[in-house]
Structure 1
Amino acid sequence: MARTQQERNEQTRQALLEAGGSLLREVGYARTSVAQITQRANRAHGTFYLHFENKRELVSVLLDEMAEEARRNVREIWRTAPRVDAIWLGLRAFLARITPERSLWSLLEEVVALEEDAAPLRSRLRHLYVEPILRGLKARPDELVSPAPNIELLADLVTAMALHFARTGNLPASPDVTALHMTVVWCNAVGQPITKADLDNLRDMFAAD
């Protein structure tokens, strides 16, 4: 069956994303050209501009896709896991998903350094992570979160910590232990410190892994 134009367009866009992503990781932002991307994708040069305004927009899409995958994993955990478990599991999944993508973080920093008007990319990426964390905290029906006024600041700080660890690859401990420390900070900040029962349950989860 012949492919529709929409299917062909999406296939071309995906080919450009894959080619651009691999090239940008290999040689960096400054040394990657649109011509190189289209050549690797085996597409005509002009097709690039049917899907992306410029290289920076392609980088933005790559970052968005990484963020959405991490958000999707965390949303599922928030939906199914109880109370403190959900925080720890969500943070652990978050670190596990974004830490291997250090090349993308380096790429983002290169873009911001080279293009003065690219700084909002960094702020926007952080918001992509903060927003679902904040929504999940406010929406949970089990009263895990108090109505404290620092919830938004907490979501931003926890995200900043995780993104720093992911960008630098410099975790203070294993991903499991780092996520546990962040969970303790989280729970203390919202006025619901982790109980002995919570710790025992997390210890059992550590042992199961």
Structure 2
Amino acid sequence: MARKTKADAEATREALLDAAEDIFFEKGVARTTLEQIARHAGMTRGAVYWHFKNKADLFHAMSDRVHLPFEELTRELDAPQQGHTPIETIRLTLRHALMRIEQPRHRRVLSIILHRCEFFSDINPLQMQHRMANDCYRSMLRHFEMAERAGQLAPGVDATRAAQMMEYTIGGMLHDWLRTPEEYSLTERGRGIIDSLLDLLSRDTAEPSSPADGSA
């Protein structure tokens, strides 16, 4: 019986988070009330307060459902354990991240944080955006530093500059895509942009073939 009660409570909580996502996306965070969220979920406002202290608590719980830092994405791929170079780890992780962002829930929540969230109570959208960008930047910087130590970066490119260029590219790409996400696939276009930038940042390690390779 207790197990069913716990499952029911979790289902109620998820329904409220779904409703919050819908209303926040439609109206913006500041203009949304807990009453509207409860009504959209087919519940009372008391049910909201049973699970969440206030709107800010509900908002952060909604955001946490999709927030997955760069390092966790990297570990999820097991890229370092598969023998990939640091550059390839960055490439694979960013491709994976774009695929996640293009999923409906991730897209909607990211759009709420970037475009439909105002300063309100304990909600600071700029702080959240900075934290998300900083998570990604610090992780990419660590991998670019490994690439620099291994001599894998192009001449004149250091790890800091490489991480900054990639951060600015990804950030600009996300903001552009979120304005009209139906116009093109972020995964497909983003993959080409990421590949092109990483190729520019990386040292060309290809060596000319020799007669021993059987070439003319």
> 1:174 matched to which residue of 2?
189
Normalising by structure 2, we get a TM-score of 0.64
Normalising by structure 1, we get a TM-score of 0.66
Alignment of 1:178-189 (within 5 A): 178-187=193-202
1:135: Cα distance to partner?
5.3
1:82: Cα distance to partner?
1.3
CA contact (8 A) 1:16 1:41 kept: yes
CA distance in 1, matches of 2:128, 2:194: 26
> 2:79 matched to which residue of 1?
78
SS of the equivalent of 1:63 reads: helix
Gaps of 5+ in 1: 188-192, 198-209
Q: Which has the larger radius of gyration?
A: 2
**Compared with structure 1, are the counterparts of its residues 48 and 160 closer, same or farther at alpha carbon in structure 2 (3 Å cutoff)?**
farther
AA partner of residue 92 (structure 2) = L
> 1:105 matched to which residue of 2?
110
Matched-pair identity in %:
22
Gaps of 5+ in 2: 179-185, 208-216
> 1:46 matched to which residue of 2?
46
**Compared with structure 1, are the counterparts of its residues 6 and 143 closer, same or farther at alpha carbon in structure 2 (3 Å cutoff)?**
farther
> 1:121 matched to which residue of 2?
128
**Compared with structure 1, are the counterparts of its residues 60 and 178 closer, same or farther at alpha carbon in structure 2 (3 Å cutoff)?**
farther
Alignment deviations for residues 26-49 of structure 1 (CA, whole Å, 9 cap, x no partner): 343244321121223233312323
Alignment deviations for residues 54-102 of structure 1 (CA, whole Å, 9 cap, x no partner): 3344333333332318754433152336114322222222222224544
**Compared with structure 1, are the counterparts of its residues 133 and 48 closer, same or farther at alpha carbon in structure 2 (3 Å cutoff)?**
farther
CA distance in 1, matches of 2:134, 2:66: 13
> 1:20 matched to which residue of 2?
20
AA partner of residue 206 (structure 2) = K
**Compared with structure 1, are the counterparts of its residues 124 and 177 closer, same or farther at alpha carbon in structure 2 (3 Å cutoff)?**
same
CA distance in 2, matches of 1:136, 1:7: 41
CA distance in 1, matches of 2:164, 2:13: 32
Alignment of 1:126-165 (within 5 A): 126-134=133-141, 143=150, 151=159, 154-155=162-163, 157-165=165-173
CA contact (8 A) 1:95 1:166 kept: no
CA contact (8 A) 1:102 1:169 kept: no
**Compared with structure 1, are the counterparts of its residues 111 and 28 closer, same or farther at alpha carbon in structure 2 (3 Å cutoff)?**
closer
